[in-house]
Amino acid sequence: MSTYRLSNLLLPRSVALVGGSPRRGSVGGAIVGNILKAEFGGKLGVVNPHYHEINGVEPVRRLDQLSFVPELVIITTPPQSTPEIIDEAGRLGSAGAIIVSAGLGHGAGSLAEAAERAAQKYGMRLIGPDCLGIMMPGARLNASFSAHMPCAGSLALISQSGAIAAGMVDWAAQRGVGFSGIVSIGDQLDVDIGDLLDYFALDGRTRAILLYVEEIKDARKFMSAARAAARVKPVVVVKSGRTARGAGAAGTHTGALAGVDAVYDAAFRRAGILRVSDLRELFDCAETLGRLESPPGKRLAILTNGGGIGVLAVDRLVELGGIPAQLSPEVRAKLDAVLPRTWSGSNPVDIVGDADAARYAAALDVLLADRDNDAILVLTVQTALASAEEIAGTVSRLVADYRKRAGRWAKPVLTVWAGAGANVVDQLSSAGIPNYPTEDDAVLGFMHLVRHREVVDELMQVPPAMPTSFAPDVEAARRIIDTALSDGRQWLDPIEIKQLLEAYEIAMVPTFAASDPDQAVAYAAQIFARGATVVLKINSRDIVHKSDVGGVVLNLTSLDAVRTAAIDIMARARARRPDARISGVIVQEMVVRAKARELIMGLADDPTFGTVVVFGRGGTAVEIINDKALALAPLDLQLARDLIGRTRVSRLLGAYRDVPAVKQDAVPMVLVKLSQMAVDIVEIRELDINPLLADENGVTAVDARVAVGRVAPKFRGKSSVNFAVRPYPSRWERHIEIRESWRVFARPIRPEDEPAIHAFLRHVTPNDLRLRFFAPMKEFTHQFIARLTQLDYARAMAFVAFDEATNELIGVVRIHSDSIYESGEYAILLRSDLKGKGLGWALMQLIIEYARSEGLKEISGDVLRENSIMLDMCRSLGFEVKSDSHEPDICKVRLRL
């Protein structure tokens, strides 16, 4: 498991520090001091052969001279000695080490590698090297050299920078923000962000996880862990280090548009993580998400005693994409009844400068009951006319009562007490009501709730199935790419591009390649014969932007004009780009669609996250307009629609003025098709269609570029080696004949299987459910089933089996592998009336086959001792069955692959 022994490391019962010196400013000395100061309850030892005393503790000379085996070893010695210390600690039985020291180097032959190897020998976990250490306030453990220790609380912080972690601790201390844990991960030799996400996702004390990220190394592992964690609790990230993309990568528009930072944005969004811009916002956001549930909508009602501040709040709200709530005539009437006539009459509900606690209470009562808002912001500007404390007290009581009544449906109430003292703030805080220094902060807080809801909704969404009518000719596409590769070419020629797009059912305008003006005239004649006009373009794989060199001439109407244009275009290109290889001209039919929108879409390759899909406003000025959005591949129709919705040009796709709307789903469908192309053919390195013309009749590609090349696989596994999030693994669909005339169709589970799973569970007896889940199961919520059905097909895989005769779901088998892909844990559930007929056997064989192909070394599982049918089956499948010494009711079964 990626969380293997992590709890020993983070919540150890005993700690030893190796290193340190009595000198002031010694890192080891500071850590010893911090451990003592925090009053760690477990055992503490210091190992150092050179001194008699470090920070009041008398060191022993070697680890094995301690009177106990330290669960956690903290190493601050010079780097050369680190591997040896780890080896010794491992031999003694330590669970893990934090390597604070830097300078262990990287890669083969380095001290880092030696340290890693030593740890692996004993199954020890390592944090660092080059880190600040860890702080676990709940366990009173400060194994770091930070100047301060935060108080205990419910935020977990995982930081790639030690300095930032230390800075955040200071900041948090000033604001009384508490932590469940802070881990400075350093170089992530072993324990990485993914492991810690797994750990804190399951940690009951942690309500939200904060990340400070500089760079993600293992994108697939990160995405898996992040998606799982974000389903359970808010995950918020600050990402710094806006590094430049490696040079030479962008030979297409999409390549240029897919900047590193935009790709990180897309990755976080896909993972359900909320990205904020700086540390201050990170805390604000964590505070809000930690205290309030995200409302289902984004309509904010504002209650204020100052008109100006209310208007400022509305402006900010609209700017950030929120909606000011509308007051219905009924609600207005209710407010009229309790407020003086001078109130504003609309949202913001300005109840005027002399408002006292009773007036606040009366108005707030009405707004809390109003169904036309999703949240309420209470603004108070201190005046000499009313007591801020009294108002705060009344609001707190009212909100507390309301929350009791409304339970989990209670809408969020946010507050600003401008100019109020600490006692007011305390009063609100202790009532669990977040309060902000300014209306700006409060509105931002509300929008954090909204955006958090959006990312999680996107994560939990049940996407529609792939349109079944789409059947690409993968073979034909492959042949085109293979030909180009065996010619040693990087770019496809225009005819190959047209064929490739057509193999994926993307229409392209009729296109011909002419090597000289005569041939151009001949092709043009064919186009004129159809009554269309002609476009000529330069055909050169070295010219990315044809218009730039005068290489595009539109709307030619005679053969003479075509001949002259062909000669001119080639001459211009030779003059302006003497270096370019010119293959002639492209002859195209001119598309005349007065109301067509010009769009760009394409694929690019990110060094970390693999294939990304880009969409935006197209034409020759794309880079300048820069209206684009990107998403990690693969996409389904819903994700494609979401991607489009994030651009400004998306608003032009609907009807406006006398322009009819673009054909329904025509544009997102092209994105899905491109994404599928990337799934099928990894050798497509970069692709863009610019422009794609879209109108009420559909879409047509007019210009496209495709770069191909062989790539080293980025991620593990046999397929989708270039996707941080795996696509649906359709190659695992199987028709299985279990017995004569009993045919079963098994396939990887899909989110849309949720209703079928519900129906299936009704056919499973309570006792069978208990044998599977080890606990009585009464109710299956959407959340619960979503976690079973929405898999990343990377670490988790599940197959569902359908009876081919009835189409009913009759069984599920799943496997969850550890993050290092060595061992997988399986579970299986069958319809109770179909047990003992060979279905379980067939599904187990399928999951074993799958585990083998993934390169796992073993499959294991926990089985209740009373579940003799399962134990028998395991034995006959070759599993080894052992008792669990800690839990007598459970047997551990294991199959080496």
d(CA 85, CA 115): 9
Of 530 and 886, the one with the shorter C-beta distance to ligand ADP is 530
Interacting positions 594-633 with ligand ADP (CB under 6 A): 598, 619-620
H or E element, residue 212: strand 208-213
Of 142 and 690, the one with the shorter C-beta distance to Mg ion is 690
Number of residues engaging ligand ADP in binding (CB under 6 A): 18
Give the residue from 52, 134, 49 showing the smallest Cα distance to 85: 49
Residue 195 touches ligand ADP, criterion: CB under 6 A: no
Per partner kind, with CB cut-offs from 5 to 8 A, the member of Mg ion, ligand ADP, none near residue 535 is: ligand ADP
Among positions 60, 590, 711, 827, the unique one binding ligand ADP when judged by CB under 6 A:
590
Q: Is 717 exposed, middle or buried (0-12, 13-18, 19+ CB in 10 A)?
A: middle
Q: How far is the CB of 564 from ligand ADP (least distance, A)?
A: 18
d(CA 162, CA 145): 10
Per partner kind, with CB cut-offs from 5 to 8 A, the member of Mg ion, ligand ADP, none near residue 47 is: none
Among positions 96, 181, 691, 861, the unique one binding ligand ADP when judged by CB under 6 A:
691
H or E element, residue 501: helix 494-503
- Residues 825 and 851: beta-carbon distance below 8 Å: no
Crossing angle for the helix pair 422-430 and 388-406, to the nearest 10 degrees: 10
Residue 387 touches ligand ADP, criterion: CB under 6 A: no
- Residues 133 and 165: beta-carbon distance below 8 Å: no
Determine the interface stretch with ligand ADP among 32-40, 364-372, 588-596, 666-674 (rule: CB under 6 A).
588-596
Determine the interface stretch with ligand ADP among 263-271, 300-308, 543-551, 827-835 (rule: CB under 6 A).
543-551
Residue 638 touches ligand ADP, criterion: CB under 6 A: no
Q: Where are the alpha helices (DSSP H) in 292-379?
A: 307-319, 329-338, 357-369
Q: For residues 553, 554, 560 and 563, what is the CA-based torsion angle, rounded to 10 degrees?
A: 40
Residue 552 touches ligand ADP, criterion: CB under 6 A: yes
**Contacting residues for 558 by C-beta, under 8 A, at least 6 apart:** none
Per partner kind, with CB cut-offs from 5 to 8 A, the member of Mg ion, ligand ADP, none near residue 267 is: none
Return the structure tokens found at 250.
């962008």
Of 703 and 753, the one with the shorter C-beta distance to Mg ion is 703
Q: How far is the CB of 586 from ligand ADP (least distance, A)?
A: 8
Per partner kind, with CB cut-offs from 5 to 8 A, the member of ligand ADP, Mg ion, none near residue 590 is: ligand ADP
Determine the interface stretch with ligand ADP among 5-13, 547-555, 780-788, 813-821 (rule: CB under 6 A).
547-555
Per partner kind, with CB cut-offs from 5 to 8 A, the member of ligand ADP, Mg ion, none near residue 588 is: ligand ADP
Q: How far is the CB of 326 from Mg ion (least distance, A)?
A: 44
Of 347 and 540, the one with the shorter C-beta distance to ligand ADP is 540
Of 223 and 538, the one with the shorter C-beta distance to ligand ADP is 538
Residues written for the chain? 897
Q: Where are the alpha helices (DSSP H) in 111-189?
A: 111-121, 162-175
d(CA 375, CA 295): 7
Determine the interface stretch with ligand ADP among 119-127, 293-301, 586-594, 787-795 (rule: CB under 6 A).
586-594
Residue 731 touches ligand ADP, criterion: CB under 6 A: no
Residue 703 touches ligand ADP, criterion: CB under 6 A: yes
**Residue recorded with tokens 């009336």:** 833
Per partner kind, with CB cut-offs from 5 to 8 A, the member of Mg ion, ligand ADP, none near residue 619 is: ligand ADP
Of 472 and 619, the one with the shorter C-beta distance to ligand ADP is 619
Of 554 and 759, the one with the shorter C-beta distance to ligand ADP is 554
Of 552 and 801, the one with the shorter C-beta distance to ligand ADP is 552
Return the structure tokens found at 637.
């129709």
Q: How far is the CB of 544 from Mg ion (least distance, A)?
A: 9
Long-range contacts of 472-476 (CB under 8 A, 24+ apart): 472/503, 472/504, 472/505, 472/673, 472/676, 472/677, 472/680, 473/503, 473/504, 474/503, 474/680, 474/681, 476/503
Which residues contact Mg ion (rule: CB under 5 A)?
690, 703
H or E element, residue 695: strand 684-695
Q: Name the percent of the chain in helix, strand, coil, to the closest 5.
A: 40, 25, 35
Of 178 and 619, the one with the shorter C-beta distance to ligand ADP is 619
Return the structure tokens found at 281.
């916002």
Per partner kind, with CB cut-offs from 5 to 8 A, the member of Mg ion, ligand ADP, none near residue 552 is: ligand ADP
Of 164 and 702, the one with the shorter C-beta distance to ligand ADP is 702
d(CA 331, CA 515): 74
- Residues 138 and 178: beta-carbon distance below 8 Å: no
Of 546 and 750, the one with the shorter C-beta distance to ligand ADP is 546
- Residues 456 and 274: beta-carbon distance below 8 Å: no
Enumerate the β-bridge partners of residue 611: 605
Per partner kind, with CB cut-offs from 5 to 8 A, the member of ligand ADP, Mg ion, none near residue 545 is: ligand ADP
Of 613 and 639, the one with the shorter C-beta distance to Mg ion is 613
d(CA 177, CA 137): 12
Residue 794 touches ligand ADP, criterion: CB under 6 A: no
Of 519 and 608, the one with the shorter C-beta distance to ligand ADP is 519
- Residues 282 and 238: beta-carbon distance below 8 Å: yes
Q: How far is the CB of 620 from Mg ion (least distance, A)?
A: 6
Among positions 588, 611, 675, 823, the unique one binding ligand ADP when judged by CB under 6 A:
588
Q: Give the single-character DSSP code of 151.
A: P
Q: How far is the CB of 665 from Mg ion (least distance, A)?
A: 24
Q: How far is the CB of 96 from Mg ion (least distance, A)?
A: 55
Q: How many CB atoms lie within 10 A of CB 232?
A: 14
Residue 591 touches ligand ADP, criterion: CB under 6 A: yes
**Residue recorded with tokens 């593990």:** 716
Residue 546 touches ligand ADP, criterion: CB under 6 A: yes
Of 353 and 550, the one with the shorter C-beta distance to ligand ADP is 550
Return the structure tokens found at 664.
């329904």
d(CA 533, CA 590): 5
Site string for ligand ADP, 503-542 (x = CB under 6 A): ------x-------------------------x-x-----
What is the binding site for ligand ADP (CB under 6 A)?
Answer: 509, 535, 537, 545-547, 552, 554, 588, 590-591, 598, 619-620, 690-691, 702-703
